[in-house]
């Protein structure tokens, strides 16, 4: 019985196709130059159409970046006061839209001061003795124990605004989204 079963068995039907001649292997090698050029042309068109929209987004990022940089300068001033054991001051020049460490140079254009973009509107609120209406400068003082004079700085452009709060007790600097946040 076993012998009869083996005799009826047909030989396997396999065709040997060379690998380099099959249609699937030709496609798997990569893309043609024409295909790449078509994709690049489509991407170029999409970028040309989308570029004007990016122009409206950049000012928002610039405002946020300026807010973060100013908050970082305030935190650095607090760290300097803690490290040195002496009060440290950051001067904000509202007229020239500059800020920098207090002292001899301050924010009036010294090499250590930083300029803000010209179309950003600045508002500062701090202790009365730290604001000069004549020079339009505000000082934010940090003390060796970590405390500060406290205050608030609002940076705005159009409808978008960020607020930097300086806690008087802890000297903590925080950024809030929106002028009334």
- Domain harbouring 67, CATH code: 3.55.40.10
Read off the pLDDT band of 87 (50, 70, 90). very high
pTM: 0.66
Sequence-ordered list of residues with C-beta below 8 angstroms from that of 179, at least 6 positions apart, any chain: 154, 156, 161, 163
**Could you tell me if 70 and 164 are in contact, meaning their C-beta atoms sit under 8 angstroms apart?**
yes
Sequence-ordered list of residues with C-beta below 8 angstroms from that of 175, at least 6 positions apart, any chain: 67, 68, 71, 162, 163, 164, 165
Q: How far apart are CA 90 and CA 102, in angstroms?
A: 5
pLDDT greater than 90 at residue 91: yes
When mean pLDDT is compared across 57-71, 104-118, 141-155, the lowest value belongs to 104-118
The share of the chain scoring above pLDDT 70, in percent, equals 73
Output the CA–CA distances (angstroms, integers) from residue 142 to 109, 128, 158, 163, in the order listed: 22, 16, 31, 19
Which pLDDT does position 119 carry in this prediction? 87
HEC assignment per residue over 131-178:
EECCCCEEEEEECCCCCECCEEEEEEECCEEEEEEECCCCCCEEEEEC
Q: How far apart are CA 153 and CA 66, in angstroms?
A: 12
10 domain residue, yes or no = no
Read off the pLDDT band of 47 (50, 70, 90). confident
Q: What is the mean pLDDT of residues 20-29?
A: 58
Sequence-ordered list of residues with C-beta below 8 angstroms from that of 122, at least 6 positions apart, any chain: 92, 94, 97, 116, 153, 154, 155
Pairwise pLDDT comparison (165 vs 104), residue with the higher score:
165
When mean pLDDT is compared across 7-16, 35-44, 94-103, the lowest value belongs to 7-16
88 domain residue, yes or no = yes
Print the domain residue range for 154: 62-177
Q: How far apart are CA 59 and CA 78, in angstroms?
A: 29
75 domain residue, yes or no = yes
**Could you tell me if 102 and 132 are in contact, meaning their C-beta atoms sit under 8 angstroms apart?**
no
29 domain residue, yes or no = no
Q: How far apart are CA 96 and CA 116, in angstroms?
A: 9
Q: What is the mean pLDDT of residues 127-147?
A: 92
85 domain residue, yes or no = yes
Kindly report the average pLDDT of the chain as a whole number. Answer: 83
Summarize pLDDT for 94-136 with one digit per residue, the tens. Answer: 999 999 998 644 555 556 889 998 889 999 999 888 988 888 9
15 domain residue, yes or no = no
Which pLDDT does position 105 carry in this prediction? 47
105 domain residue, yes or no = yes
Most confident of 41-55, 92-106, 126-140, 158-172: 158-172
12 domain residue, yes or no = no
**Could you tell me if 179 and 156 are in contact, meaning their C-beta atoms sit under 8 angstroms apart?**
yes
Number of structural domains the chain divides into: 1
């Amino acid at each position: 019985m076993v012998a009869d079963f083996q005799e009826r068995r047909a030989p396997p039907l396999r065709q040997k196709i060379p690998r380099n001649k099959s249609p699937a292997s030709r496609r798997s090698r990569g893309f043609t130059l024409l295909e790449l050029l078509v994709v690049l042309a489509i991407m170029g068109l999409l970028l040309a159409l989308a570029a004007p929209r990016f122009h409206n987004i950049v000012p928002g990022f610039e405002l946020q970046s300026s807010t973060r940089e100013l908050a970082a300068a305030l935190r650095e001033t607090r760290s300097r006061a803690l490290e040195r054991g002496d009060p440290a001051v950051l001067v904000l020049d509202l007229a020239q839209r500059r800020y920098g460490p207090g002292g001899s140079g301050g924010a009036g254009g010294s090499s250590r001061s930083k300029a803000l973009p010209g179309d950003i509107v600045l508002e500062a609120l701090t202790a009365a003795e730290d604001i000069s209406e004549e020079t339009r400068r505000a000082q934010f003082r940090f003390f060796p124990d970590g405390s500060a004079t406290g205050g608030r700085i609002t940076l705005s452009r159009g409808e978008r605004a960020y607020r930097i709060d300086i806690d008087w007790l802890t000297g903590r600097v925080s950024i809030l989204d929106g002028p009334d946040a």
